[in-house]
Amino acid sequence: MEFISHISNFFVKNSDLLSQILAHFLVLVGVMYVIDNAVVNIKQRIYDNSNNTSLLSILLFMSKFVKVIVVILILGSFLQCRGYSLTSLITGLGITGLAVGLAAKEMLASVLGSISIMSDRVYKIGDYVSINNVEGIVETVNFRSTKIRTLANTLITIPNNITADTIVHNRSESEFFRLIETFDIEYDTTDEKIEEGLSILRDIAQNDEDMQNNYIARVSALSDCSIKLQLIANTTTNDWMTFLAIKDRLYKTVLKRFRENGLAFAFPSRTVYVRKDEN
């Protein structure tokens, strides 16, 4: 009975405090419920209309940001009801916020960079991109960094503030990829064999279903140690891995057919002439 009496006295003495806590808690729960319902509805609209992951990421970030603001406002209201000066509190928070802001400057820059990337739709998960000489497939985009899986199967993390301030090559946004490949043959190759080599390149492009018909095969240059035969062709794909497979198939076919037709590939070489002094 004494224990129950103590509890009863506690509730009587602190009835104002408990009622204020309950009121602010109910307001907090109600506002959070409204925010969550709004996020669910907006998310469903994004899924139905565009299924844009960038918009979804921005939506989740904004909902968390709004929730933090709501918690701060309700906490401030509660402290005001308890007789604390909000002016002093805000001043203290301002000084603390300045110190935290200076310490978290890089993180803030990354967050702003993330918003820029997502709003501009620079890339999305699954795209093949090149950022700061790093090439690979985008695996994760969050509010601090972008993670890229390279062809060597390494995972590289790039802060989004760096990404936002550099040139990004998004190869997956191309309608197609273009092949520009050069094959070096020896200088003692006859004119007939040169034409035969060009004919082989045209035939390969003509019969490859992954290449468009607007191809060009030509002698592109005469270098120090070789005659350069060049093939320029547009592929039918904008998938980077498929493009690599097309290049692999092209190289193998050119090697096979050039060898079969007696076309020798050149390698770096130098001819040295020695002058004989008659004296």
Q: 156 pLDDT exceeds 70?
A: yes
- How do 227-234 and 216-222 pair as beta strands? antiparallel
Q: 104 pLDDT exceeds 60?
A: no
CATH for 135: 2.30.30.60
What mean pLDDT, rounded, does the chain reach?
A: 79
What is the domain count for the chain?
A: 3
Is the residue at 160 inside a domain?
yes
The confidence score (pLDDT) of residue 182 equals: 94
Q: 157 pLDDT exceeds 80?
A: yes
pLDDT band at residue 189 under the 50/70/90 scheme: very high
Residue 247: enclosing H or E segment and its boundaries? helix 240-260
Q: What is the pLDDT of residues 62-98, one digit of tens each?
A: 777 788 888 888 887 777 776 666 666 566 555 555 5
CATH for 231: 3.30.70.100
Sorted by sequence, the CB contacts under 8 Å of residue 240 that are 6+ apart come out as 128, 137, 171, 172, 177
**What does the chain come to in residues?**
279
Q: 128 pLDDT exceeds 60?
A: yes
pLDDT band at residue 53 under the 50/70/90 scheme: low
DSSP H helical segments within 50-124, as ranges?
Answer: 53-81, 86-103, 105-120
The confidence score (pLDDT) of residue 55 equals: 62
Is the residue at 117 inside a domain?
no
Residues 84 and 43 in one domain: yes
Better-predicted residue by pLDDT, 127 or 56: 127
Separation of alpha carbons 121 and 229, rounded Å: 39
Residues 152 and 165 in one domain: yes
Buried b (16+ CB within 10 A) or exposed e, 173-198: ebeebebeeebbbeeebeeebeebbb
Kindly tell me the burial class for residue 141, based on how many C-beta atoms sit within 10 Å of its own C-beta (0-12, 13-18, 19 or more): buried
Residues 20 and 94 in one domain: yes
Helix axes 105-120, 86-103, angle to 10 degrees: 80
Is the residue at 265 inside a domain?
no
Is the four-CA dihedral 114, 117, 118, 122 of positive or negative sign? negative
Better-predicted residue by pLDDT, 175 or 204: 204
DSSP category for residue 273: P
Q: What is the pLDDT of residues 234-270, one digit of tens each?
A: 999 888 788 889 999 999 999 999 999 999 998 876 6
The confidence score (pLDDT) of residue 10 equals: 55
Better-predicted residue by pLDDT, 231 or 158: 231
The confidence score (pLDDT) of residue 125 equals: 80
The confidence score (pLDDT) of residue 51 equals: 54
**Greatest mean pLDDT range, 75-84, 111-120, 142-151:** 142-151
In 3D, which of 57, 26, 32, 30 has the Cα closest to residue 42? 57
The confidence score (pLDDT) of residue 3 equals: 57
Is the residue at 163 inside a domain?
yes
The confidence score (pLDDT) of residue 180 equals: 93
Q: Which domain holds residue 191?
A: 178-260
Q: Residue 168, Cβ neighbours under 10 Å: how many?
A: 16
Give the whole-number percent of the chain exceeding pLDDT 70.
72
Residues 156 and 197 in one domain: no
Mean pLDDT, range 84-113, rounded to an integer:
58
